[in-house]
Amino acid sequence: MEMAAVTAANGKSSGGAKSADFTAVEIGEALSPTASLFHSPKLNCCIIAVLGSKTAIDPAVVKSGLERTLIRHPRFSSRLVVDDHGCRGRKLRWEKTMVELDDHIIIPNLDDDDASPDSAVEDYISRLSTFPMDVTKPLWELHILNVKTRDAESLFVFKIHHSIGDGASLISLLLACARKSSDPNALPSVPVKNRRARRQGVVWLIWAVVRLVWNTLVDVLLVNATVLFLRDTRTPIKGPATGEGRNGKRFVHRTVSLGDIKMVKNAMNMTINDVLLGVTEAGISRYLNRKYGKNEEKQSNQIQKSYLPSTIRLRACIMVNMRPTTGIQDMAKLMAKGPKAKWGWGNWIGNMMIPLTIALRDDPLDYLWSAKATMDRKKHSLEPILEFIGARILPMVFGVKATVGIFHKILSNTTLAFSNVVGPVEEISLYGHPIAYIAPSVYGHPHALTIHFQSYCNTITISLAVDPGLIPDPHVLCDDLEDSLKAIKEAVVQKFVQKDPGIV
C-alpha cells in the first residue's frame, strides 16, 4: 500500500502558517500524572476519530485550515522530551516545536486494494493501531482517505495520543475547528444539560449522605478486590487477563436513529445513558448466546433458546467526564488563548465499574430497567471521583509503574469499556467539508471490546474497537446491538406509545 505525504499545490507552505510562530524551542510544563500513565507500555493509548465527509476532501484546503486552527493549540504543536534536571529524576515534558504539516497529514493510495472500499478502509484504519506514534514530533496524525464508502464520500481519520487529552476535550477541540454547514461563520452547538433543582429536607439529606457513604464503601471494596483477585468470567468477548493492549484492534461502526433513542428515553422516563447501557446489555446477551449455541444454531438468525451459562460475571468500565459542563465556544476560546487558558484541558476522566446482567429476557424493557437501577445507584457513589483523584495522586506517591499496574489490573479483570459523548445538534463542516458522521474510539488498553456512542445531528454512531483474534465478527455484534434497539423500540411502542401517543 503506497503512502504519500500531502504537499501544497505549489510545493511550498502556505503563507502565514501558524507553525512558523514556533521557531524558538522552549521547555514547557511537565506531563500531568494522568498523561504520564498513557505512555506506559501497558497503557499506551491512542484515540482514533473517524469523520465521514459528504464530499471529496481537498488536502490543500485542509492544510490551510489546520494552520489557522488546530496547530495553534499548544498540545498539537509540542513534542515530548525527557527532562533529566528535575529534582525527582527523569520527567517527560512538553516542548514547543515547529510543526511540519507534511509530516502529519498522510494520504494513502487505496485504489490498488483488491478488497471492497469499505473493507479496504476498515483494514487501513485497523492497521493504524499496530504502529506506535513517532515521539520526535507532536503526537497526532491526520489520514485523508478519498475513498467512497457506504455512508461517506471520503474520510478524515485522526490518530491522537491519549496523553494530549481525553475524548471529550479532543472531540470538542475538533468541533471548535468546524462550523455549522448552514452558517459557515457559526460554531457548532451542543445540547446543554440542565440540572433539576430538588428540595432537600433534613431527612432526605441524611439519607443521601448515608447512601453515598455506603455505596462508595462497597464500590471501593469491589475495586480493590478487582485489583487483587476478582475477575470477570472468561467469555467469547473476554480473554485471559494477561494482555497489555499491544494487539491491533479492528474498528467498525453502525449509525442508528437518535430519535428512536429519545422516544424510548421519554416513554420510560430515563436518561439516554440508561437507554444506551440497556441496549448494550441486550446486544451483548444476544451475541454471547449465539456464540455459546453456535453448534446447534449455525443457520439460525433467530435466538429463541438460551445457551448462556447460568452465571456470568461481566462488567463494563464506564468513562466519566469529571469537568463541569462546557460548550464548544469555550473550547474555541481555549484554542485562541493558548496555554494560559488550559482549564479543563487534558485527561479529566474518572472510571466506574458497571455490572451487566447477561441473559435472554422475555420482555426487552427489562434490560432498560436493569440498566437504570444500576446507573441510579452509581450516581450516588464517589467511585469515579476517587479513581480520578487516584490517577493523579498515586503516580506521585508510588510512581507511574506501580500506578499503571493498578489500573491495568482493573481493566484486564473486567470485560469492556463503555463511553458516550454528546455531539453537535446540527450538521457541521470541517474546513468546508460537510460531515456525515463522527465515529471515535480508542485502543491501547487491555479490553478486547470497547463500545463508544457518539451523537451527531439526529443520529448516534455505535463505534466498536475489538481484538480480532477474540472477536472476529464485529459486524455481527453491531447487528445485535441494532436489533436490540429495534426490539426495545417496538416494545415501548406497544406498551406506551399506542396507549398514549402524547408520551413521546
Cell numbers that stand for 353 in this block = 465499574
Cell numbers that stand for 104 in this block = 502529519
Q: What is the three-class DSSP state of 265?
A: helix
**CA–CA distance, 404 with 362 (Å, rounded to integer):** 42
Q: At what angle do helices 258-268 and 272-292 cross, to 10 degrees?
A: 110
**CA–CA distance, 38 with 50 (Å, rounded to integer):** 21
Cell numbers that stand for 455 in this block = 451523537
Q: Per residue in 149-188, is it b (16+ CB within 10 Å) or e — as a string?
A: bebbbbbbbbbbbbbbbbbbbbbbbbbbbbbbbeeeeebb
Q: What is the three-class DSSP state of 279?
A: helix
Phi, psi at 418, each rounded to 5°: -135, 135
DSSP conformational letter for 418: E
**CA–CA distance, 136 with 133 (Å, rounded to integer):** 9
> From the CB of residue 18, how many other CB atoms can be counted at a distance below 10 Å?
17
CA dihedral 6, 8, 11, 12 (to 10 degrees): -120
**CA–CA distance, 424 with 258 (Å, rounded to integer):** 12
- Amino acid letter, 216: T
Cell numbers that stand for 486 in this block = 429495534
DSSP conformational letter for 496: I
85: annotated active-site residue: no
C-alpha closest to that of 162 among 416, 475, 404: 404
Q: What is the three-class DSSP state of 130?
A: coil
The per-type count for the chain, helices as H runs and strands as E runs, is 12, 17
Phi, psi at 156, each rounded to 5°: -95, 130
Is there a contact between 184 and 164 (Cβ–Cβ < 8 Å)? no
- Candidate list 162, 253, 433, 447, residue with the active-site label: 162
Q: What is the three-class DSSP state of 290?
A: helix
Write down the residue that cell numbers 430515563 correspond to. 270
* Contacts for 225 with CB less than 8 Å, ≥ 6 apart: none
Residue 336: alpha-carbon gap to chain centroid? 25
Q: Which residues are catalytic?
A: 162
